[in-house]
Amino acid sequence: MRFINSNFEPKYDFARSISRLVQPIIITMPIFVILNYFVTGGTGFLIFTLICLLFATFLPFTAVWMWIKNRDLDLDITDKDERTFPLLFGVLSYLIGTVILFTAGAPAAVTVLMFCYFSNALLTIFITFFWKISLHSMGIAGPTAAMIYVFGSSGLLFLFPLFMVMWSRLYLNKHTLAQVVVGAISGFVFTWLQFKIFLV
C-alpha cells in the first residue's frame, strides 16, 4: 500500500519535515535527556547524559553523514544495501556506550536502553539483508516502548511522534505499509521484552 502525493503539496513538505526531524538518531537526544533527568535524581545527570549523547547520537550521526557524503547517497539511504556500514558502526558505538554506562554505574534503565539500541540495530542488520524494514518506525518505536515501560501512562505521549513518522514514511512513498508496521511492532516488542528481562 502506497500513498499518492505531489512534491509541490504543503502536506508533502510537512511529511518530509517530520521524516527528517523525527529520526532515530535525533530522537535519542530528548529520550536520553529525559530519562537521565528523572532516573538519576540529579546525581550524575550530566556525565551520564553526555555519555549517552556521544555514543547514541554524535558518533552514529557522524558515521551516517560521512557515509552519505562519501557515497553520494540520499538522506534516507534509500538503497537498503548501503545501510549496512552505518548500522554496523551504530552497533559498535551502542555496545561501547553500554559497557561504559554499566562500568560507570549508570541507572539500570539508561544502560538497558543503550543496550536495546545495540541489540535492535543488530537485529535490523539481519533483517535488512532480506527486506527493507522501516528504520524510522523501528528506531522510534523502541525508545517509545522504553518510555512507556519506565514512566507508565505518561510515556504514551511518545506514541504521537511514532504515529506521525509512520504516516510520513507512507505518505512520502519511502516504505510499504507492511514495512512501516512491522518496523514499529518489532522495535516496540523487542525493546519491551528486554526491559522486562533486565529490569527485574
pLDDT tens across 34-91, in order? 999 999 877 789 999 999 999 999 999 898 888 778 877 767 666 667 777 888 898 9
* Domain boundaries, given as residue ranges, for the chain: 10-198
pLDDT tens across 169-179, in order? 999 888 899 99
Return d(Cα 45, Cα 122) in angstroms, integer. 28
Return d(Cα 108, Cα 159) in angstroms, integer. 23
- Mean pLDDT for the chain? 89
List the one residue out of 196, 197, 139, 137 whose CA is nearest residue 167.
137
Could you give the count of Cα atoms lying within 13 Å of 95 in the half-sphere of its Cβ? 9
Residue for cell digits 502525493?
Answer: 5
Which has the higher per-residue pLDDT, 153 or 129?
Answer: 153
Residue for cell digits 539500570?
Answer: 108
> Following CA atoms 23, 64, 150, 42 in sequence, which dihedral angle do they give, to the nearest 10 degrees?
-110
pLDDT value, residue 4: 46
The model's pTM: 0.89
Instruction: Quote the cell numbers at residue 126.
Output: 539481519
Measured from the Cβ of residue 156, the count of other Cβ atoms closer than 10 Å reads 12
Query: How many residues belong to the chain?
Result: 200
